[in-house]
Structure 1
């Protein structure tokens, strides 16, 4: 290996580690926020629709702003966007901490803070995902995405909820301040990223095209790619069911299962262990089973998992079922993210990713509302039954359309940069 290639590899690894650190800190803040917000809402009201409204506020930005976020990510410096987005979230949680400190937290303010954090997330997540192919070679994308997803699992789903449960028991304001500090650390880590491949196409687009033209180009590219449309559709079905469950999960955990806030945090952390293991083994497992098989397993395991919760509401059985669901969901995330990064030109990646997420994540608020209404009229178990049925239908779609052969990655060696 030449000195130049050795230096390039060292720079790639160094920049990836710094992006990795930023993702870890950012998602620790996300995990704290996602666990704390429902707990705070449930301490204000036990109305299932109002509690589910927290998830609506969190994911509504993906419906309203994700397309514009894609244009922003393709036009502006992605590292700087990571810094700004995390700084905004630092301030938003800081305002929430002040409200808790003075002892007056209106539910509307909680909605507003969660919504602001979600708006910033549409940019931060897109920027980090779109930056990765500019740092890591394409033959290492499954490996890199596996590490990123595993880190997100540790921070967002494991450490965040566990810390939130403990800190909430001690002091809600301390828990919120910790989340704010995590976002600040993410902004600082992004500042250290240096090795990013240039994108002349993105610079040209910024200089000569209107925002509307950029939007049309991204949507048009996405819509012309039938496989990408079908991947987005299966993600939307999966996430609609997940949104229905997620919106009322805190009520199930603290109601029929009888968990305390601290136990709730550790329950969520335990289920996230499946995602951690999946992220670390993603490259090997995906290459052995095939990308379509991975998506099918995700739908089938979610079906079984939600059915188990509905029939038992037993904390141990439910935790085990959701742990397996988290593992297969993580493998599926790696499959879809790598598919986009390996097949979409770099200068379009932000916009196509945002279009994908508009469909895949934009349905979550509707799922949360549907889950809240269903629980209000038919009980909590009905939400899990409905979510299981939706995932069973998704499994049929995957068998028919998203086979291993169709999801095979291109074999040419040149990495897509941007």
Structure 2
């Protein structure tokens, strides 16, 4: 099976795919173990949440600058070096935990460094994919990347991270360090020739402005970026209080809440496997428009229901949509954006998504506190209805 996949997409993609799968397992392990580590040092909710924010902060601060250097530097070498440095950072954290010298500030510093590395490595990785497969195979390649990411990061790694932390607090971070180094070795073994030589403008600011102008003038990609930016505000506003919603609205215990979260992964896994067939059957335009409708229905159903099984069913459908949308949009960007602009345009798109998520996370708690636990979901449904109406005609170009 593996040999057949490699033969279809090539050895270079196989290495890139394996590197992605390995690093996604490592990321998921740390996502599960990180909050547990902070919670073992402090009982302050704000400090526990601060660790996740420390990793997101670099996307808000330097994502656009990182995109410039992704276009200026050798992307394969950049991903390799950044993964080695992230592996070293995680090794330092693992050593600090093992020697009982870890502290909350140290965790914040390490997670901030991880986030900084993500702005470079993730952007460069997405720009590398078109160099390893032919344009007509991009959907299949991105589908496989999304499927293994969902399986490794959301389904396998989360329980593994908790188990490793219980076995020894330093183990999950040592394991993540190892996955970074393995991913670096695999990426360094890729043999590709850049389509064009790295291009540098007169200044970083000029390079960023060029990418913003290019994206804004491309009606379809601009629509996708704005639509998902607003969708992330709506989604994160609703799901920022999802744990409370599951307890107060659905009557779930902590175990039930954990099981409910796995529905995202189940739907995402199905979406990654189905997207090539769905695209061939319905077409890109229908998938994108249908995805916006799924967003509206998801928020409305969650706002209205008190039945856990209904919530689980709609979240599986939402998981299918979210991975489908991600694959379609990623493929569209990779095909439409010139190679010499992929890093910068990709970073502009990523900033709209992360910025929307951060804004939504802040708004959700405020809305729920001022009104009710279901108000953020009703507000999200209303916001996505407006987005769908505005984006419907521009999506004809998909």
Match of 2:213 among 220, 225, 230: 220
Distance in 2 of aligned mates of 1:138 and 1:373: 45
Query: Is residue 92 of structure 1 aligned with residue 92 of structure 2?
Result: no
Aligned to 1:394: 387
Aligned to 1:259: 254
- 1:232-261 deviation digits (Å, cap 9, x = unpaired): 00110122223334544455568853224x
Query: Contact between 1:237 and 1:394, CA under 8 Å: does it hold in 2?
Result: yes
Match of 1:135 among 132, 136, 154: 132
- CA 1:273 to 1:95, structure 2 compared with 1: closer, same or farther past 3 Å? same
- CA 1:338 to 1:11, structure 2 compared with 1: closer, same or farther past 3 Å? closer
User: Structure 1 residue 294: deviation in Å?
Assistant: 1.7
The number of residues matched between the two structures is 390
User: Structure 1 residue 186: deviation in Å?
Assistant: 1.5
What is the TM-score normalised by the length of structure 2?
A: 0.86
What is the TM-score normalised by the length of structure 1?
A: 0.82
User: Structure 1 residue 26: deviation in Å?
Assistant: 1.7
Distance in 2 of aligned mates of 1:41 and 1:244: 24
Aligned to 1:70: 67
- 1:29-70 deviation digits (Å, cap 9, x = unpaired): 2222333334455664464x6555444333322221111111
Unaligned runs of 5+ in 2: 1-5
Query: Contact between 1:303 and 1:392, CA under 8 Å: does it hold in 2?
Result: yes
- CA 1:115 to 1:381, structure 2 compared with 1: closer, same or farther past 3 Å? farther
Query: Is residue 33 of structure 1 aligned with residue 26 of structure 2?
Result: no
- 1:285-339 deviation digits (Å, cap 9, x = unpaired): 1232222322233333233334444455655443332221111011111111111
Aligned to 1:353: 346
After TM superposition, list the pairs within 5 Å mapping 1:155-304 onto structure 2. 155-194=152-191, 196-202=192-198, 205-206=199-200, 209-249=202-242, 257-260=252-255, 267-304=260-297
- Structure 1 residue matching 2:194: 3-state secondary structure: coil
- 1:338-382 deviation digits (Å, cap 9, x = unpaired): 111111111111111111212222222222222243445556544
RMSD: 2.9
Query: Contact between 2:227 and 2:387, CA under 8 Å: does it hold in 1?
Result: yes
After TM superposition, list the pairs within 5 Å mapping 1:323-402 onto structure 2. 323-378=316-371, 380-402=373-395
* Stretch moving more, 286-295 or 307-316: 307-316
- Structure 2 residue matching 1:200: 3-state secondary structure: coil
- CA 1:359 to 1:144, structure 2 compared with 1: closer, same or farther past 3 Å? same
Query: Contact between 2:299 and 2:377, CA under 8 Å: does it hold in 1?
Result: yes
Aligned to 2:311: 318
Distance in 2 of aligned mates of 1:25 and 1:173: 19
Query: Contact between 1:78 and 1:131, CA under 8 Å: does it hold in 2?
Result: yes
Match of 1:147 among 144, 161, 174: 144
- Structure 2 residue matching 1:65: 3-state secondary structure: helix
Distance in 1 of aligned mates of 2:389 and 2:295: 13
Query: Contact between 1:56 and 1:364, CA under 8 Å: does it hold in 2?
Result: no
Query: Contact between 2:296 and 2:384, CA under 8 Å: does it hold in 1?
Result: yes
Aligned to 1:13: 10
- CA 1:259 to 1:282, structure 2 compared with 1: closer, same or farther past 3 Å? same
- Structure 1 residue matching 2:392: 3-state secondary structure: helix
Match of 1:112 among 103, 109, 112: 109
User: Structure 1 residue 177: deviation in Å?
Assistant: 2.6
- CA 1:216 to 1:399, structure 2 compared with 1: closer, same or farther past 3 Å? closer
Distance in 1 of aligned mates of 2:233 and 2:78: 28
- CA 1:16 to 1:313, structure 2 compared with 1: closer, same or farther past 3 Å? farther
Unaligned runs of 5+ in 1: 1-8, 408-418
- CA 1:313 to 1:39, structure 2 compared with 1: closer, same or farther past 3 Å? farther
User: Structure 1 residue 23: deviation in Å?
Assistant: 1.0
Query: Contact between 2:9 and 2:141, CA under 8 Å: does it hold in 1?
Result: no
- CA 1:320 to 1:52, structure 2 compared with 1: closer, same or farther past 3 Å? farther
